[in-house]
Structure 1
Amino acid sequence: MVTETIIQKFQQKVPAYRREKYWKSLGLDINRDNICNWQVISSKQVLQLIYDVLHEKLVKQDIIHADETSYQVIKSNKAKTYYWLFCSGKMEKRQVVLYYHAESREHEVPLKFLDGFTGYLNCDGWGAYSLLPDVTLVACAAHIRRKFYEANHSKKKPSKSSPAYIGYSYWQKMLQLEKKWRDLLQRSGWLTEKMN
């Protein structure tokens, strides 16, 4: 039942009052407070343990991708909060994707989360990452390509002869080549061997 309430909330986006009605229609008098409390308790007692194990595995990997985005939990005067994403590189045998909620976008967040990580960090160049010790930063191609795209489309009539358009075209070609090479490696079996 707890799993079903979690699926309803996070995957199906069913609001609490409708979940309460649903369970009553099945003959179970469960109020929304109970449903929400179940989710909090199960997260602390079960899901946090799984998260912690995945976190240990992630920081031992060679390549991690990171990004962060702001959001507001409820429309209020409260300052922005942030979701940070940390995930495995594409070639990693055991893929791990973890989200981390924080009140800020300061360097203390990745410093704490990535404690013990000494590999390559693929990110957008946000200043918080450059302060990490023993980490090699790798620029994110998607973020670089986006800057060329934005520069070219900032004008009403984008020009195909502008440096921004030419740079964007080069990035498009590089990403297409990368996909072809990855497909070729998968068909040859090399990529499968590498990931096993």
Structure 2
Amino acid sequence: MRGTIITAPMPKPVLPGSMVSPSLLATIIDMKYNKMMPLYRQEQSFVDFGIDISRQNMASWVVKGSEKWLKPLFLRMRDYLIKEDIIHADETVLNCLDEKDNKNNYMWLYATGERSTHRIYLYDYQKSRSQKHPKEFLDGFSGYLQTDGYASYNSVPNVKNLGCLAHARRYFTDALKALPEDAISTKTNAHS
């Protein structure tokens, strides 16, 4: 054995064909989502330390790392979510720069109630506002579904739909604005 060099086997890469380490990938994702630092600023920050990592590489690592390492966690959290008694759901328009047709995309949000055993917030990116998205995402859920009343949520079977008081208040205040200025009003605590 004298004079023989023994080397440890190369560790398996976190992303095959990539130089990114688990700690670097975790740092990039943490900085992007928890510290609100976009990839172009991370790229500049790395340059300040003499490290050349393009934002295109970081973007690719974030996507591939999420698909490989975070998707199983996401699916497990969804399993816990649909076992809850109450789920809050909403969707919002999301404009994506790299979408070819430039039409609206949507981010669907599903969350447990604040008194839930497991506090879960899951985001589901979709290219449409179709009723199939909440129906598929909430497959297996049979509790109370609180929404803004958007019709797509009515496609979810075996749920009891609940309205949103913030939206109900908005309709009430809009109705008050429609009254003529000389209308007699009574001051209440119901509106501000």
Global fold match (TM > 0.5): yes
Count of paired positions = 168
- Structure 1 unmatched runs, 5+: 173-196
Conserved in 2, the CA contact under 8 Å of 1:152 and 1:158? Answer: no
Conserved in 1, the CA contact under 8 Å of 2:173 and 2:191? Answer: no
Paired position in structure 2 for 1:71: 94
Cα deviation, 1:56-114, whole Å, max 9, x if unaligned, reads 00011111011111121128752111111101122211111111111111110000000
TM-score when normalising by structure 2: 0.76
Tell me the percent identity: 33
Give the whole-Å Cα distance in 1 for the aligned partners of 2:26 and 2:177.
Answer: 45
Higher helix share: 1
Paired position in structure 2 for 1:45: 68
Instruction: Please point out which of 114, 136, 140 is paired with 2:160.
Output: 136
TM-score when normalising by structure 1: 0.75
Give the whole-Å Cα distance in 2 for the aligned partners of 1:66 and 1:142.
Answer: 14
Paired position in structure 2 for 1:170: 190
RMSD: 2.6
- Structure 2 unmatched runs, 5+: 1-23
CA 1:92–1:23 in 2, change beyond 3 Å: closer, same or farther?
A: same
Paired position in structure 2 for 1:117: 141
CA deviation after TM superposition for structure 1 residue 17, in Å: 3.4
Paired position in structure 2 for 1:25: 48
Paired position in structure 2 for 1:183: none
Paired position in structure 2 for 1:127: 151
Larger Rg: 2
CA deviation after TM superposition for structure 1 residue 155, in Å: 6.5
Cα deviation, 1:142-190, whole Å, max 9, x if unaligned, reads 111121123324569596717xx86xx4378xxxxxxxxxxxxxxxxxx
Conserved in 1, the CA contact under 8 Å of 2:132 and 2:155? Answer: no
